[in-house]
């Protein structure tokens, strides 16, 4: 969807006819044009879904098989479906059988073999860089291209510090609110405004079906936290979780096409007591689930003990790890403490183990961090985790402004991205207070796009400042229409202008 009449979609072609990378072209009133990175995709009828852009690329590598797949169960959609005896609003579009590799089919695997995939070429055109940079960064683990073979609808996208800083938007239903249609609408809305990936954090009813609708309509990689669904399957009692239930949930999601999964495998039994003296203890939902399981069962985290099993599964679908920071600080006072850093050391160990399986990895980071401690987070993560991409939630630079935490966190996010964080998880104005609605999703995405771009400019990323310069020239020459068209959010810019000076004359002179 284009958001402004001066915007159109143009494509840059690759070495073969089916590599066509979309950009948003902004037509300026002085006859010039400006091309912008876009994540909106070609647009879809939600009931039909997107065309399988990557299907041929995946198939022609000749290393995957179709298979019957796991049978969907009523419990996959939660207790309500079980009660009703049927799932609601099931996916009505076409759905090929699931695919998986006979062996390892990850972009990292190909990159390490020296092979340039169409996905890598697509990414290089998108980023305006040499394809060898893409291949070598993926091979080294310094960047990932999250691309499940069962999500061929997604446009390939790279996450790594040598590339544009990316933004993730969280959506998802909960027991309290929202329908499948609303979640699909939030997905489309988020990518319209520039979300580079979307995480479906649903915890309520219809989890399986909601995810299916989202993936089939998503032009961007989809991430999940599978422990949320696994917990629903054991009636919300963390102590009853098992590796088997978790494994089954992971395979369910691999077959649907989830591109990356947050795995809280660094929450070790011995780290839990380190959080006792904190002001806010454990605030990560996944972290507290796993800490609760460890304590209840007096056993080591099964995600840690079964980590190699997970790697073997991920390798066959090309699912990327997002190694969760279950012990991240929940307030500035708890930042960079022993619990957080102990977990980070374990995430570094797990990064290496995933790489031994050629599985792609990024590492999650905080959270809440005072500005003076932000840089240390990136420095330690990059050093310990051998430059695996860092993916942070904000961080919030202060705790005193609920209702404005998109801003408190954008301050930390811009700073941490400038120092090398590869992807930022957005925070909306509803953080700590409630569930984001459509407007909050837009505000969150725009706020994080400006933070990410501020970091790109600060890093001197090639070409990043061209956008600023083009808009600044329009501003200096009073080309108001061009200022609006070049804005991250043309609608808001024009509406604010018109509040004071609505006359057409005041936009052209």
446 binds a copy of itself (CB under 8 A): yes
- By CB under 8 A, the residues from 250 to 289 that bind a copy of itself are 279-281
469 binds a copy of itself (CB under 8 A): yes
Contact yes or no for 326/366 (Cβ under 8 A): no
> Given its phi and psi angles, is residue 179 left (phi above 0), alpha (psi -120 to 50 degrees) or beta?
beta
Q: 217-246 burial string, b = 16+ CB within 10 Å, else e?
A: bbbbbbbbbbbbbbbbbeeeebeebeeebb
468 binds a copy of itself (CB under 8 A): yes
177 binds a copy of itself (CB under 8 A): yes
> Given its phi and psi angles, is residue 12 left (phi above 0), alpha (psi -120 to 50 degrees) or beta?
beta
- By CB under 8 A, the residues from 348 to 377 that bind a copy of itself are 370-372
Q: Nearest approach, Cβ of 266 to a copy of itself (angstroms)?
A: 22
202 binds a copy of itself (CB under 8 A): no
Total residues binding a copy of itself (CB under 8 A): 70
What six digits make up the tokens of 316? 């066959």
- Cα-based distances in Å from 174 to 24, 119, 207: 34, 34, 9
| Choice between 243 and 404, CB closer to a copy of itself | 404
433 Cα distance to chain centroid: 22
| Choice between 50 and 335, CB closer to a copy of itself | 335
Q: Nearest approach, Cβ of 187 to a copy of itself (angstroms)?
A: 20
74 binds a copy of itself (CB under 8 A): no
Q: Nearest approach, Cβ of 421 to a copy of itself (angstroms)?
A: 13
**Pairing label, strands 260-263, 222-224:** parallel
| Selected binder of a copy of itself within 176, 276, 505, 509 (CB under 8 A) | 176
Residue ranges of E strands in 190-313? 197-200, 222-224, 260-263
500 binds a copy of itself (CB under 8 A): yes
Q: Nearest approach, Cβ of 369 to a copy of itself (angstroms)?
A: 10
Kindly report the three-state secondary structure assignment for every residue of 451-500: HHHHHHHHCCCCCHHHHHHHHHHHHHCCCHHHHHHHCCCHHHHHHHHHHH
Contact yes or no for 105/316 (Cβ under 8 A): yes
111 binds a copy of itself (CB under 8 A): no
**Gap between the Cα atoms of 409 and 429, Å rounded:** 10
Q: Nearest approach, Cβ of 450 to a copy of itself (angstroms)?
A: 4
Contact yes or no for 249/203 (Cβ under 8 A): no
Residue 360: CB atoms within 10 A of its CB come to 31
Name the one range near a copy of itself by CB under 8 A: 159-167, 216-224, 386-394, 473-481.
Answer: 473-481
Q: 317-353 burial string, b = 16+ CB within 10 Å, else e?
A: bbbbbbbbbbbbbbbbebbbeebbbbbbebbbebbeb
Residue 279 burial (10 A CB sphere; 0-12, 13-18, 19+): exposed
| Selected binder of a copy of itself within 302, 447, 481, 485 (CB under 8 A) | 447
492 binds a copy of itself (CB under 8 A): yes
| Selected binder of a copy of itself within 142, 408, 422, 426 (CB under 8 A) | 408
| Choice between 192 and 408, CB closer to a copy of itself | 408
Q: Nearest approach, Cβ of 29 to a copy of itself (angstroms)?
A: 16
400 binds a copy of itself (CB under 8 A): yes
Q: Nearest approach, Cβ of 351 to a copy of itself (angstroms)?
A: 28
User: What size, in residues, is the chain?
Assistant: 509
What angle do helix axes 180-192 and 207-216 make, rounded to 10 degrees? 30
Helix (H, G, I), strand (E, B) or coil at 118: helix
Q: Nearest approach, Cβ of 490 to a copy of itself (angstroms)?
A: 9
| Selected binder of a copy of itself within 432, 462, 463, 504 (CB under 8 A) | 432
42 binds a copy of itself (CB under 8 A): no
Binding footprint of a copy of itself on the chain (CB under 8 A): 176-177, 279-281, 330-333, 370-372, 397-404, 406-408, 410-411, 414-415, 418, 429-430, 432-435, 437, 446-447, 449-451, 453-455, 457-460, 465, 467-469, 471-473, 475-476, 483-484, 486-489, 492-493, 495-497, 499-501
């Amino acid at each position: 969807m284009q958001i402004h009449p001066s915007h159109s979609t143009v494509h840059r072609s690759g070495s073969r006819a089916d590599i066509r990378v979309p950009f948003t072209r902004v037509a300026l009133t002085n006859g010039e044009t400006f091309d912008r990175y876009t994540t909106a995709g070609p647009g879809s009828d939600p009931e039909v879904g997107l065309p399988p852009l990557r299907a041929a690329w995946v198939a022609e590598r000749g290393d995957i098989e179709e298979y019957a797949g796991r049978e969907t169960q009523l419990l996959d959609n939660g207790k309500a479906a079980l009660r009703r005896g049927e799932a609601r609003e099931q996916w009505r579009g076409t759905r090929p059988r699931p695919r998986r590799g006979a062996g390892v089919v990850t972009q990292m695997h190909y990159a390490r073999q020296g092979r340039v995939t169409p996905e890598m070429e697509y990414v290089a055109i998108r980023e305006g860089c040499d394809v060898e940079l893409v291949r070598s960064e993926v091979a080294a683990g310094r960047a990932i291209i999250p691309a499940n073979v069962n999500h061929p609808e997604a446009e390939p996208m790279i996450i790594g510090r040598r590339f544009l800083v990316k933004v993730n938007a969280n959506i998802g239903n909960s027991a309290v609110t929202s329908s499948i249609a609303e979640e699909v609408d939030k997905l489309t809305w988020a990518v319209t405004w520039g979300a580079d990936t979307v995480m479906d954090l649903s915890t309520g009813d219809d989890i399986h079906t909601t995810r299916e609708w989202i993936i089939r309509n998503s032009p961007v990689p989809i991430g999940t936290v599978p422990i949320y669904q696994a917990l629903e399957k054991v009636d919300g009692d963390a102590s009853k979780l098992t590796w088997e239930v978790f494994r089954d949930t992971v395979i369910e999601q691999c077959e649907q096409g989830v591109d990356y999964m947050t795995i809280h495998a660094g929450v070790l039994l011995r780290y839990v007591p380190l959080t006792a003296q904190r002001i806010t203890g454990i605030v990560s939902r996944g972290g507290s689930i796993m800490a609760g399981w460890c304590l209840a069962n007096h056993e080591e985290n099964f995600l840690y003990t079964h980590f190699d099993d997970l790697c073997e599964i991920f390798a066959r679908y090309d699912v990327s790890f997002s190694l969760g920071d279950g012990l991240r600080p929940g307030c500035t006072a708890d930042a960079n403490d022993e619990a957080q850093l102990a977990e980070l050391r374990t995430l570094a160990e797990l990064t290496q183990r995933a790489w031994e399986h050629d599985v792609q990895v990024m590492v999650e980071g905080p959270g809440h961090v005072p500005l003076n401690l932000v840089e240390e987070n990136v420095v330690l993560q990059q050093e310990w985790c051998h430059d695996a991409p860092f993916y942070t939630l904000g961080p919030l630079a202060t705790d005193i402004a609920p209702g404005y935490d998109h801003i408190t966190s954008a301050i930390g996010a811009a700073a941490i991205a400038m120092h090398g964080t590869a992807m930022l998880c957005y925070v909306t104005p509803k953080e700590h207070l409630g569930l984001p609605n459509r407007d909050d999703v837009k505000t969150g995405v725009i706020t994080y796009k400006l933070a990410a771009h501020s970091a790109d400019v600060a890093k001197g990323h090639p070409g990043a400042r061209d956008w600023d310069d083009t808009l600044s020239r329009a501003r200096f020459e009073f080309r108001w229409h061009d200022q609006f068209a070049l804005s991250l959010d043309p609608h808001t810019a024009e509406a604010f202008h018109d509040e004071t000076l609505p006359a057409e004359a005041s936009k052209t002179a």
